[in-house]
Amino acid sequence: RAKDAGRGVYHAYEPELHVQAEERRVLEMALRQALEKNEMHLHYQPVVDAGTGNLKGFEALLRWHNPQFGNVSPVKFIPLAEDARLIQPIGEWVLRTACAEAAQWPSEVRIAVNVSPDQLQNPNFVTVVTSALASSGLSAERLELEVTESVFMHEGLGATKVLERILDLGVRLSLDDFGTGYSSLGYLSRTRFSSIKIDRSFVQGASQGVKEAIAIIRAVVALAQSLGMATTAEGVETEAEHRMVQDLGCTKVQGYYFGRPLPVEEARALARRGWDTSAAA
C-alpha cells in the first residue's frame, strides 16, 4: 500500500540524514576547539610574475589537522566555520599569522589572505586588519585580501563600504575565483581591485581547447587591462598551460607547476633566496 511504501522510504532515508547531521555536529565541535588546540596552520603558495617568472608573493591557505579526522580540506571546513559562526575568530587568526610571517620576508614579497564574506559583515573588521598590520609591522602595501564575488551578494553596499575603508589603509584587494559566481561588472567599477584571479576551471578548459574558456580569459584580460588591474591565472599545472595563459596576457600565475602550497619554513626559505631557477632543471 502507498502508506507502507512511504514509510519504507522514510525509514530508509532517515538514518543516512542522521549520520550526516551527526558527522557535521562532531566535526563542528572539533572545529570549535581547533585553534586553541593548535590544530590549524597555514601553507603558502607562490605567486609568480607571468612574464619574468619572478616570485611576487604567496597566498596563505589554511590547513586543519585533527587527530580524529586527519587532514580536513578547507573546501569542507570553511563553509562549516561560516555556518557555525566560527569564521571570524579563525579568519582573524589567519590574518594575524600571515601578516606576522610575511613581515619576516624580504620587503618585495607580498602576502595574499582569503577573506570570507561573513568577515566583511563584522563592523570591527577594519580594526582587525589595522591591528594585524600594526602588531606585525607589515606595511599595508604588502597585504592583499582576496574576496569572491559572493561578498557583493550578501549585503551589497555594506561590503563595498568596508572594502573602501580597507583600500584607504593602503591594503590591496583581489577578486578571487572570477567567473564562477554572479559575474556582474558593476562592482568592478565600484571597487578598486588590484587584481582579478581567473578561476582554474577556465585555465583547465582553455588548455583542453575549449573555445569558450579561451574567449572568457581573453575578455577578462582585456577588461582588467582597461581598468588598470592585473590578472592572475589560477591552477596552472603544466608548462603548456603557463605558455598559454602568458600568450593570453595574464600578468601573474599560480599553480602546481610553480609550486604547491608550502609549509611555513619552506616558504620562508623560498622568499629569502628568491626563485632559484637552476633547482627546477
Q: Judged by CB under 6 A, which stretch of 33-41, 120-128, 164-172, 252-260 contacts ligand C2E?
A: 252-260
Closest to 59 in 3D by CA, of 107, 7, 101: 101
Size of the site for ligand C2E (CB under 6 A): 23
Positions 112 through 171 that interact with ligand C2E (CB under 6 A): 114-116, 146
User: Is 39 an interacting residue with respect to ligand C2E (CB under 6 A)?
Assistant: no
User: Is 75 an interacting residue with respect to ligand C2E (CB under 6 A)?
Assistant: yes
User: Is 94 an interacting residue with respect to ligand C2E (CB under 6 A)?
Assistant: yes
Distance separating alpha carbons of residues 154 and 145, to the nearest angstrom: 18
- Least separation in angstroms between residue 33's CB and Mg ion is 26
Angle at 121 between CA 63 and CA 62, to 5 degrees: 5
Q: Judged by CB under 6 A, which stretch of 102-110, 111-119, 162-170, 270-278 contacts ligand C2E?
A: 111-119
Q: Name the residue whose CB lies closest to ligand C2E.
A: 255
What residue 73 binds from Mg ion, ligand C2E, none (CB within 5 to 8 A, per partner kind)?
Answer: ligand C2E
Composition of the chain by helix, strand, coil, percent to 5: 55, 20, 30
User: Which run of H or of E encompasses 8?
Assistant: helix 2-34
- Least separation in angstroms between residue 3's CB and ligand C2E is 46
Interface residue list for Mg ion (CB under 5 A): 114, 146, 176-177, 199, 234
Mark 177-216 with x for binding to ligand C2E (rule: CB under 6 A) and - for no binding: x----------------------x----------------
Burial 217-247 (b: 16+ CB within 10 A, else e): beebbeebeeeebbbbbbbbeeeebbebbbe
Output phi, psi for 55, to 5 deg: -70, 125
User: Is 92 an interacting residue with respect to ligand C2E (CB under 6 A)?
Assistant: no
User: Is 78 an interacting residue with respect to ligand C2E (CB under 6 A)?
Assistant: yes
Task: Note whether 77 and 24 are within 8 A (CB).
Answer: no
40, 109, 261, 270: residue in contact with ligand C2E (rule CB under 6 A): 261
User: Is 224 an interacting residue with respect to ligand C2E (CB under 6 A)?
Assistant: no
User: Is 61 an interacting residue with respect to ligand C2E (CB under 6 A)?
Assistant: yes
Closest to 101 in 3D by CA, of 267, 279, 276: 267
CA-CA-CA-CA torsion sign (117, 158, 175, 181): positive
- Give me the residue label for grid cell 619554513: 265
Q: Which residues of the chain form contacts with ligand C2E (CB under 6 A)?
A: 45, 61-62, 73-75, 78, 91, 94, 114-116, 146, 176-177, 200, 235-237, 254-256, 261
